[in-house]
Amino acid sequence: MALKYLHTMVRVKDLEKSMAFYELLGLRETHRKESEGGRFTLVFMAPPGQEECPVELTWNWDGDDALPSDSRHFGHLAYRVDDIYATCQHLQDNGVTINRPPRDGHMAFVRSPDNISIELLQAGDALPPQEPWSSMENTGHW
């Protein structure tokens, strides 16, 4: 039996705000589908050169009361980054809370505007501990 990964889908409340968050991570829109009949928009976003690994943002035009305020039931998305400290600084400079700072130079967690946990993993070996990250406490849950 052949199996091929297609995408991960997350429901979002504010499409533009969610797209802006994923753009901060480096993802770009690869394509979208508008459904007049279903009253929804699907936006597929992926890192450049990895279009075969998208996240699908599903936005219901009439709102989504069924979307819980804490999307921990989903688990998380994970992305490898070249420099975890620079990535976290970029996100923090743009108003994103670093829920689990990269104290170990290897792993951090942030949350999307829809409370989807995003795990950031350092490519290769962990970077040496660096301030302010090494002494930064967790914020909220991740």
- Catalytic residues, which ones? 119
Angle (CA) 53-2-77 rounded to 5° is 25
Tokens representing residue 110 in the block: 């942030």
Q: How far apart are CA 86 and CA 120, in angstroms?
A: 12
Tokens representing residue 42 in the block: 């699907």
- Report whether the peptide linkage leading into residue 129 is cis, meaning its omega lies within 30 degrees of zero: no
Q: How far apart are CA 86 and CA 55, in angstroms?
A: 23
Handedness of CA 138, 25, 117, 70 (dihedral sign): positive
